[in-house]
Chains A and B, each alone.
Chain A
Amino acid sequence: MNKFKETSFKSVTYLASLFTIVFLFAIILSIFYEGIPIFKHVSLIKFLTSPSWHPTHFPPDFGILSLIAGSFLVTLGALIISIPLGLGSAIYISELAGPTSKEILKPVIELLASIPSVVYGLFGMAFLSPLLIKIFHVPTGLNIFSASIILGIMVVPIISSMSEDALSTVPKSLREASLALGANKWETIIRVVVPAAKSGIFSSIILGFGRAIGETMVVLMVAGGAAQIPKGLFQPVRPMPAAIAAEMGETVIGSPHFHALYGISIILFTVTFISILITEFIVHRRKK
């Protein structure tokens, strides 16, 4: 009887763990199942390299190059903002801040992480965008620039908290050796501590990249929504998640447009999956 209880409890935990694998496969299968049919209407090469996205025209154009460009541009912009801010905050908190300022600064970063993305979107749409129009005299405040700023701030806590973990695993003896050799605090940080933590810092940036490229609400609300290859920083774009979110509600289920949106999600998934594999690989190698 007891033996039976042991085995059945153990089996339940195994079963629960298998669910994580089942869910992942179900996610992958469902987007491929609904996404593959689009390639009956357009070749994969044309899908990826044609910049004209006119899914509702007759005949329709299903080229997502401008959506891919939009995604990568706002993500690049976000990283340009979040790498210095996030890494700078992490280094300051772990190497320079006293115990009191640490107690204040860490919750500030945690608070940024807990703000819902739709509220960031509201801030971008209703506050930042009118402000940008006033300052830069641009026709629209919803563009690559504003989306990058908001997205960049969202990614700061990810880069900051993971880099801080990496910095805190650098042994104290390394810092002390450097200081004993006559290096000052700044030289120790730049020449010793940061290089020693570089793989952790790098994976935090990759993770931030994955978060930024997959974030939906902010780019849906703040990036402007124009499916075009942009010619400047203040031009509106339509990143991949924004196209899916905005158009899914208006399309007929089972139509080529519907399948094309799932096709976009396959590309989006592939990009994020590669970034996840890179971090897995780095973490695994470091453990060895």
Chain B
Amino acid sequence: MISRRKISSFLGVNLLRLFIVITAIFLLVFLYVIFSRGGKLLSWSFLTESPRRFMTEGGIFPAIVGTFWLTVLSISFALPLGVLTAIFLTSYARPPWLVRIVRVAINTLAGVPSIIYGLFGLTVFVRMLHFDVSILSGSLTLGILALPVIINASEEALRSVPRDFREASLALGATERQTIIKILLPTALPNILTGTIISIGRVAGETAPILFTAATFYTRVLPSSVMDEVMALPYHIYALLTEGSHGAKQLPIAYGTAVVLMALVLLVSTLAIIIRFRIRKKRKW
């Protein structure tokens, strides 16, 4: 005879299994829909040409360029700030009350909705500092959004350096600064890079922060300076679905753009996974 306990155990375990299977099936359907509908469009000319005929034909080159600049500039702004903050949190970390405030600030920044970053960028960069709607305004907004991710990754990376390294260096007479620059940072660098790459994926895919700070639906010319407004891949998908007057012709291009954006994000995360894997294999401590 099968006991009630066995039945409930069987049901419970399979319920958990069902939940994870539903999640996995959703992911598969999702990837299939996006890649099967958008994959057809991929071609060399789709990637390298400008849009034509009111966005119903042509490629997405300006959007790729725009996303490239927004990502590069925002990361080059957030990375130094993030790493320095992580050094403060791991090596100096005094006084305790300051550390506590900085931590609350980081956690809050990480939780602020992305649309509020957009409003903040509009007020401060676009209007108060007169950067207007531009690559610069968008990159600064995205950079602040990426900051908490970079700080957390860098802090974890610095903390994973064994204590002996630091103590050996200090015992040899190196100063705190020399220890940080010559020992801690080089050892933690691969892990910091992994974290940075993950934040690149995040920044490249964000739409709401650039709605009012950087993005434009359509330009024929590529940006010539950081003060120009740009097209960007995520905004392009949104704009193709909600603006313009040829919805049926714009939809396939939206799917094609989504494939390019997804491929970019997936490529970047795969790169991060490979780096992480290599470090783990090489590491001897």
Contact = CB atoms under 8 A, between A and B. Distances in A.
A84 B102 contact: no
Given A96-B16, A119-B237, A127-B33, A185 B177 contact: no
A87 B20 CA distance: 9
A156 B26 CA distance: 11
B163 interface: no
A177 to B, nearest CB: 18
Nearest to A112: B27
B30 interface: yes
A20 B112 CA distance: 13
Interface in A234-283: 241, 244-245, 248-249, 253, 261-262, 265, 268-269, 272-273, 275-276, 279-280
B116 interface: yes
Contact of B22 (A85, A189, A280): A85
Interface stretch (B164-172, B187-195, B219-227, B259-267): B259-267
B265 A116 contact: yes
Contacts of B89: 17
A117 to B, nearest CB: 7
A85 B261 contact: no
Contacts of A244: 115, 119
A122 interface: yes
Given A13-B87, A108-B27, A89 B120 contact: no
Interface of B: 5-6, 8-9, 12-13, 15-20, 22-24, 26-27, 30, 33-34, 80-81, 84-85, 87-89, 91-92, 98, 101-102, 104-109, 111-120, 122-124, 127, 144, 147-148, 151, 175-177, 180-181, 198, 201-202, 204-208, 211-212, 234-235, 237-238, 241-242, 251, 254-255, 258, 261-262, 265-266, 269, 273
Nearest first, the 7 closest Cβ-Cβ pairs linking A and B are A214-B113, A116-B205, A88-B19, A16-B84, A186-B9, A30-B123, A216-B208
